[in-house]
Amino acid sequence: MGEIKTIEFKDGVLYLIDQRKLPNSYEIFECRTYKDVNFAIKDMVVRGAPAIGAAAAYGVVLAAKEFINEEKESFFKKMEEALEILSKSRPTAVNLMWAINRMKKVIENNKELGLQDLYELLKKEADNIYYEDIETNKKMAKFGNEIIKENAVILTHCNTGALATVGYGTALGVIREAHYSGKNIFVYADETRPRLQGAKLTAWELVQEGIPAKLIADSVAATLIRDGKIDVILVGADRIALNGDTANKIGTFMLSAVAKMYHVPFYVVAPTSTIDFNIETGKEIVIEERSPEEVTHINGVRIAPEGIEVYNPAFDVTPHENITGIITEKGIIRPPFRENILKLK
């Protein structure tokens, strides 16, 4: 299949692989305005913290393109509204705010420029975020590969691959690197209810890459861990607090608890842009609740009775004491997390 291009900005249009349609069909979703980008992030056409950040940055570029013919004062006012809307598209992934803040700085530092020049600078900054993400992923993959032994059996949750980033991946990037370096690895992928990102996306990427793998129901993981079948667990992150507490896809906390009980190493793989230096612990992380339909329906087909109430948090928080290490593009952070995370600031 060649390189997976989750995000591509070309001739003033943002092209996204529509992740709602995989694996049954490979379709491209076109964003021509920042409102299209806002919808794409909210509806999970694009998902995964790094990919959300990059898409939002291009959303700002599309807003600038839309308002370029306005008077200056009106341009800045409308850009402010667009930035506000984009920054609220999803609440948990800190990469979103990180990317929006980078774009905001470009606007604030260049207000004296003509609008065309400002547009060019915004486009350049979004491109920087895009290319940095690929660089970052490759660095993380190399650091992460150091902890993967020959013939390792790896368990992963949700989707942390090329589809969750601009390309290559975080936790799945480490898995790719281990596979390419000939370590003869094997992967168990959790299906990841309720949106099945493991079954639909991770399994798809593993098949595309020819990496030996099996898909499992989420509840099978505990049995495999107990029976000594798993050597290491690799997951991604949407936000990391200063003390190392990590928000990730719902179900991650449960995995970490079982891993701790059976002494299986549990690593989080995330760029430093996912660390929120403004919060001390995971208690401060806003957990997004999503629509009941994600639980009561699969692919639009109802599987639960009418009238049943649903609790559907998209993420949970894994406490730092359950985490062996956090693999970043600057190396592997180990406990004490707060002390070692602050060294990165």
What domains, with CATH codes, occur in the chain?
A: 7-137 (1.20.120.420), 141-342 (3.40.50.10470)
Amino acid at 200: K
Query: What percentage of residues in the chain have a pLDDT greater than 90?
Result: 96
Rounded CA separation 100/5 (Å) = 22
Q: Known binder of ligand: residue 47?
A: yes
Catalytic residue among 133, 238, 276, 316: 238
Q: What is the pairing mode between strands 7-10 and 13-17?
A: antiparallel
Q: Tell me if 48 is assigned to a ligand binding site.
A: yes
Which residues of the chain are under the pLDDT cut of 70? 1-3
User: Which pair of structure tokens corresponds to residue 145?
Assistant: 């590969």
DSSP labels for 20-59? Answer: TTTTT---EEEE-SHHHHHHHHHTTSS-SHHHHHHHHHHH
For the question of residue 231 being annotated catalytic, the response is: no
User: What per-residue confidence (pLDDT) applies to 91?
Assistant: 87
Judge whether 189 is annotated as a binding position. Answer: no
CA distance 267 to 125: 31
How confident is the model over 101-116, as pLDDT tens digits? 999 999 999 999 999 9
Residue 1 has a pLDDT of 43
Query: Is 249 annotated among the ligand-binding residues?
Result: yes
217 is in an annotated binding site: no
The answer to whether 302 is annotated as binding is: no
Of 160, 133, 136, 327, the residue nearest 244 (C-alpha)? 327
